[in-house]
């Protein structure tokens, strides 16, 4: 009796989900499914690559291998990435990459340009380490996890990473806004950690701006086809600067990036049809 009830329930649930997935009307199941595909594929790749990463733990080249596999999921979720001024990322030197943060998709954008920068150590919040198998694979791939609630520990981790950056000419990728920003008109305030490291190591800062994800509207459950532009700006030197110069340096870099962000926002939005359902801040 119960087996028939459960069987009927599973059939009805599967039918409902399939109907929602193939519906032309936006809905939450269809919206969440694209993120789910990304997360499942990333977890699968992490599980598959873990045994290989163990042989060279915390080597940033592991990240490059993983990124080359994960990035192909972008075809399934129908998002295209366009890199501009990639030559800046390709230069073989230590640097701190400062990028804006909008969504978990930012990491997919990073995966799609990783082969250009080659040696990159991404910075992530400590909580992500506990999402296994991704967290463990990321740790073995050289991702640096920091505790945002402990400034002292976070700085210590970044200092260790900066030594590796100088020695191995590795780039550190940081999202200084600290949280996701959905405003198409401005960037959130920047935290100073990455700037302190750049000045202490006397390496340049490479501002990287990702255009707004106009194709995502969480309020209306829309995740349509789209493209994102990843624009590398000219490096900002830190040679000769001291810690006293950090506040001014943050303001300078943020202003440069905000101008570029507004220009990219205008570029992608102006190409959209009238009444396109953009997600806006309340």
pLDDT string in tens for the chain (282-residue length)? 667 677 677 778 777 677 777 777 777 888 888 888 888 888 888 888 888 888 888 787 888 888 888 888 888 888 999 999 999 999 888 899 999 988 888 888 888 998 898 888 887 777 778 877 888 888 888 787 776 665 666 566 666 666 667 777 888 888 888 777 776 778 888 988 889 888 888 899 999 999 999 888 888 888 888 899 999 999 999 998 888 999 999 999 999 999 999 999 999 888 888 888 877 654
Q: How far apart are CA 18 and CA 14, in angstroms?
A: 6
Sheet containing strand 95-99, strands side by side: 79-84, 226-232, 205-210, 95-99, 171-174, 120-125, 144-146
Q: Is residue 238 part of a domain?
A: yes
d(CA 58, CA 144): 9
CATH classification at residue 171 = 3.40.1130
- HSE-CB for 30 with a 13 A CA cutoff: 19
| Alpha carbon distance 84, 122 (integer Å) | 20
Q: Which residue shows structure tokens 């400062």?
A: 98
* Residue 169 placed within a domain: yes
- Residue 278 in any domain: the answer is no
Neighbours of 266 (CB within 10 A): 14
Report the domain count for the chain: 1
Q: Does residue 282 belong to any structural domain of this protein?
A: no
Joined tokens for residue 189: 């305030």
Token pair in block for residue 115? 């082969």
Strand ranges inside 126-196, DSSP E = 144-146, 171-174
**pTM: predicted TM-score of the whole model, two decimal places:** 0.86
Of the CA atoms within 13 Å of residue 20, those in its CB half-sphere come to 16
CA angle 20, 26, 31 (to 5 degrees): 75
Taking the C-alpha atoms of residue 229 and residue 211, their distance in angstroms, rounded to an integer, is 5
Is 165 buried (19+), middle (13-18) or exposed (0-12) by CB count in 10 A?
buried
Residue 248 makes CB contacts below 8 A (sequence gap 6+) with none
The boundaries of the domain holding residue 185 are 1-271
- Domain annotation covers residue 244: yes
Cβ atoms of 138 and 61 closer than 8 Å: no
Contacts within 8 Å (CB) and 24+ apart, 103-106: 103/180, 103/213, 103/216, 104/35, 104/38, 105/38, 105/79, 105/213, 105/216, 105/228, 106/175, 106/210
Position 277 in a domain: no
Tell whether 280 is covered by a domain: no
């Amino acid at each position: 009796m119960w087996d028939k009830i459960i069987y009927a329930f599973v059939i009805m649930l599967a039918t409902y989900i399939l109907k929602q997935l193939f519906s032309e009307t936006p809905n939450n199941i269809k919206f969440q499914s694209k993120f789910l595909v990304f997360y499942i594929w990333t977890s699968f790749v992490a599980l598959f690559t873990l045994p290989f990463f163990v042989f060279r733990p915390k080597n940033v080249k592991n990240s490059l291998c993983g990124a080359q596999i994960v990035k192909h999921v972008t075809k399934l979720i129908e998002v295209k990435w366009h890199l501009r001024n990639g030559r800046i990322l390709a230069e073989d030197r230590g640097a701190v990459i400062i990028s804006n943060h909008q969504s978990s998709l930012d990491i997919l954008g990073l995966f799609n340009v990783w082969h250009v920068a080659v040696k990159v150590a991404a910075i992530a919040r400590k909580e992500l380490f506990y999402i296994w198998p991704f967290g463990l694979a990321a740790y073995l791939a050289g991702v640096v996890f920091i505790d945002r609630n402990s400034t002292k520990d976070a700085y210590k981790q970044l200092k260790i990473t900066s030594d590796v950056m100088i020695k191995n000419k590795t780039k550190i990728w940081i999202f200084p806004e600290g949280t996701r920003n959905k405003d198409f008109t401005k960037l959130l305030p920047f935290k100073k950690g990455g700037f302190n490291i750049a000045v202490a190591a006397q390496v340049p800062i490479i501002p990287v701006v990702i255009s707004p994800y106009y194709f995502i509207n969480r309020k209306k459950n829309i995740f349509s086809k789209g493209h994102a532009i990843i624009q590398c700006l000219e490096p900002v030197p830190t040679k000769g600067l001291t810690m006293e110069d950090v506040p001014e340096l943050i303001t300078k870099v943020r202003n440069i990036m905000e101008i570029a962000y507004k220009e990219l926002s205008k570029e992608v939005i102006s190409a959209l049809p009238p009444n396109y359902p953009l997600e806006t801040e309340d």
